[in-house]
Structure 1
């Protein structure tokens, strides 16, 4: 096995950084699950509920089950590849170790762009919930989106201590909010509200599951902090499987509960703030504010964690000479260039007028990255069954990508195609520039 690039030394999550700074020791199973659950729910159901119901109708819950199944298989591949590597690093390191450095470099660019879109989704969610909560026109949503990204940029620029927010409390509050409103919805359960089940057609479930897959992004960050886990070979797979199972259950219960409280028509009409409508139906004005507060808190914590982790990933990849040298620069140990880049461009993408395009684009990126992870695991893991599971995950990701390309609206596909082409062109230009400098230096 090739040695690959140096193992990352940075902490890739605020909780990990806090543990290091306070000398609390390695992350236990409970800590790891909270990190992964918090990462997925951060933008998750608050962002995608309305879009999922709009695409899949009464069978929206099936879309979350399919997405959860793909995420679970991918979790298996991440766990197995992390154990094989025996260190932190994620897919970038796995591909280098397996002898695919060029693929690893390109995927790292694609993954960073995926996290940039995820930031935009979280900013979009925060902005629209904030504007709606204060009764302001939709134009104010863009201002709130940009403002929250700039606020967390400032927090992260203050250092590890400032950005290491209490993840336990944040996760507890947002799960409690989701559980409360879902429980009230289930108390009013009526099968007639979901009749007929296939009101949008069976194919719509597949389209929806592919379109909102970005809601399951976040669990893979645990692989970057592998070295900080207590008994990582045991803790990582358990944390990954538990977190994906918990989040899938949360998404399923919230979807059904919301559909029991309000009609699909209302959820679709208010898709940017659909959960607030469910909260109002459950508990009146108090429920509306509880749901809105949960969404704002979830989006804010997701922005913080994504800025923190992605900036450090960009810095480490730049040190391996796979990103422009500007991202190598730090100030007081902080990856300032990467943080500013992510916040500014995340805010720019958050200005898109419809969240469907953002979700679809983000889902396409993570389906491609997770598909690559599963394909690599299917090629390098020992044993028939592990390879079969990972191979199934690859085919599922590939199938979902094909569904997006064939069945989604042309405007969204053009955005995806233009963005992916831009990433490829920029990557090619960077490689040529690097080779030119190397030849000039040799001369």
Structure 2
């Protein structure tokens, strides 16, 4: 049973923005500046270029393969089932970690001390229920949350730039090449949400036209927002942002606008919820596509007839996210997520590189640049995150080997 095509261009752009303008813009500056130092804006530019290359590859693939599953489906069609499986598995494990990070960030802004974990769990449950009642409701809620987060960011940026001429920020640490690249890897975590659009290929109206446009529009909007926020944080706070758990709250305090911090906290909570909602939706669709092929249990492939969404997949993903929230921390979730997502886009670039004829929309050099960028950034991530990510990918590969062996026996 196919999914219903109900999402317009505006819906798809809102879902992409909801994924990118989420917890990252409120939380990523402290760790990113801590490693990139005075090269933070260079790191942002590198992350944006890699994200653009990956976005164009995703757009080119989505136009030729307008089905659910994103690069899992594209790589299966272009370079083979095993590459598709590794892409889909990397996406699912990386974005499950992202969901946990978003839930924890929401709770850090919205919950009183001691209540962060229960509130994070409640957020996952609530948004999983929203997803189970239909994708149009998902798009509507995402639009509302994106508007709330943008209003809060506008407050922070406005007061920050007003205070910048008289600010005396602490000088940033000197930049190193490795530090800048690691900062780019952390910032890439925040940009990766445009893939949510591609994974919903079966639910977008006129996908061959809508998906490429939505990806570019959403990514362009996110780059502008991140550039403005990053610049004002450097101009007002400087090195004081390192170690901060709520850098934009500290920005308002330094700008003499601490009375506006409740507004910012509400915006941060809204942004985190928007990203979490869109991420849960995208993971559910990729899980659906993998279940249809037997790469995860086929039990998860069932689509609810009334609401036309993969409810079993949505519920299973929500349960795993809750488990991670109960045992993990935010930094570990971000590093693990970046590992999985960069592998996913490495394969997306390889799949797009293989396309020929009318399917080609962008020069192959763009895909080469995107693949090289993914390889460089994934090798700058924290060692522990990379080791855990490698182990989980190998676990998935082992599962598929056993499944294929038993089904052929």
- Scaled by the length of structure 2, what TM-score is found? 0.88
Alignment-derived partner of residue 44 in structure 2? 64
Q: Which of 288, 294, 300 is 2:273 aligned to?
A: 300
| CA spacing shift, 1:80–1:185, aligned 2, 3 Å | same
Task: Kindly indicate whether the alpha-carbon contact (under 8 Å) linking 2:59 and 2:211 is maintained by their aligned counterparts in 1.
Answer: yes
Q: Distance in 1 between matches of 2:67 and 2:298?
A: 25
Once the two structures are overlaid, the 10-residue window that deviates more, 161-170 or 303-312, is 161-170
Task: Kindly indicate whether the alpha-carbon contact (under 8 Å) linking 2:14 and 2:139 is maintained by their aligned counterparts in 1.
Answer: no
| CA spacing shift, 1:167–1:381, aligned 2, 3 Å | same
Alignment-derived partner of residue 8 in structure 2? 27
Alignment-derived partner of residue 368 in structure 1? 343
Alignment-derived partner of residue 333 in structure 2? 358
Task: Kindly indicate whether the alpha-carbon contact (under 8 Å) linking 2:21 and 2:222 is maintained by their aligned counterparts in 1.
Answer: yes
Alignment-derived partner of residue 377 in structure 2? 400
Q: Which of 304, 325, 335 is 2:298 aligned to?
A: 325
Q: Distance in 2 between matches of 1:331 and 1:193?
A: 57
Task: Kindly indicate whether the alpha-carbon contact (under 8 Å) linking 1:123 and 1:347 is maintained by their aligned counterparts in 2.
Answer: no
Structure 2: gaps spanning 5 or more residues = none
Q: Distance in 1 between matches of 2:210 and 2:134?
A: 28
Higher relative CO (Cα under 8 Å, sequence separation at least 6) belongs to 2
Task: Kindly indicate whether the alpha-carbon contact (under 8 Å) linking 2:284 and 2:317 is maintained by their aligned counterparts in 1.
Answer: yes
Deviations along 1:242-277, one digit per CA (max 9) or x if unpaired, are: 221221111111122223343432x22323x22222
Q: Distance in 1 between matches of 2:313 and 2:29?
A: 31
Q: Distance in 2 between matches of 1:86 and 1:155?
A: 24
Q: Which of 229, 252, 270 is 2:227 aligned to?
A: 252
Asked whether 1:291 is paired with 2:267, we answer no
Task: Measure how far apart 1:395 and its partner are.
Answer: 0.8
| CA spacing shift, 1:314–1:214, aligned 2, 3 Å | same
Once the two structures are overlaid, the 10-residue window that deviates more, 299-308 or 281-290, is 281-290
Q: Distance in 2 between matches of 1:223 and 1:384?
A: 16
| CA spacing shift, 1:202–1:101, aligned 2, 3 Å | closer
* Number of residue pairs the alignment of both structures matches: 405
Q: Which of 40, 46, 51 is 2:31 aligned to?
A: 51
Task: Measure how far apart 1:79 and its partner are.
Answer: 1.7
SS at match of 2:105: helix
Task: Kindly indicate whether the alpha-carbon contact (under 8 Å) linking 1:58 and 1:194 is maintained by their aligned counterparts in 2.
Answer: no
Task: Measure how far apart 1:162 and its partner are.
Answer: 5.5
Structure 1: gaps spanning 5 or more residues = 1-7, 21-25
Task: Measure how far apart 1:355 and its partner are.
Answer: 2.2
Q: Distance in 2 between matches of 1:359 and 1:188?
A: 31
Task: Kindly indicate whether the alpha-carbon contact (under 8 Å) linking 2:178 and 2:380 is maintained by their aligned counterparts in 1.
Answer: no
Q: CA RMSD in A?
A: 2.8
Task: Kindly indicate whether the alpha-carbon contact (under 8 Å) linking 2:200 and 2:285 is maintained by their aligned counterparts in 1.
Answer: no
Q: Which of 124, 146, 153 is 2:128 aligned to?
A: 153
Q: Distance in 2 between matches of 1:339 and 1:296?
A: 22
Task: Kindly indicate whether the alpha-carbon contact (under 8 Å) linking 2:61 and 2:352 is maintained by their aligned counterparts in 1.
Answer: yes
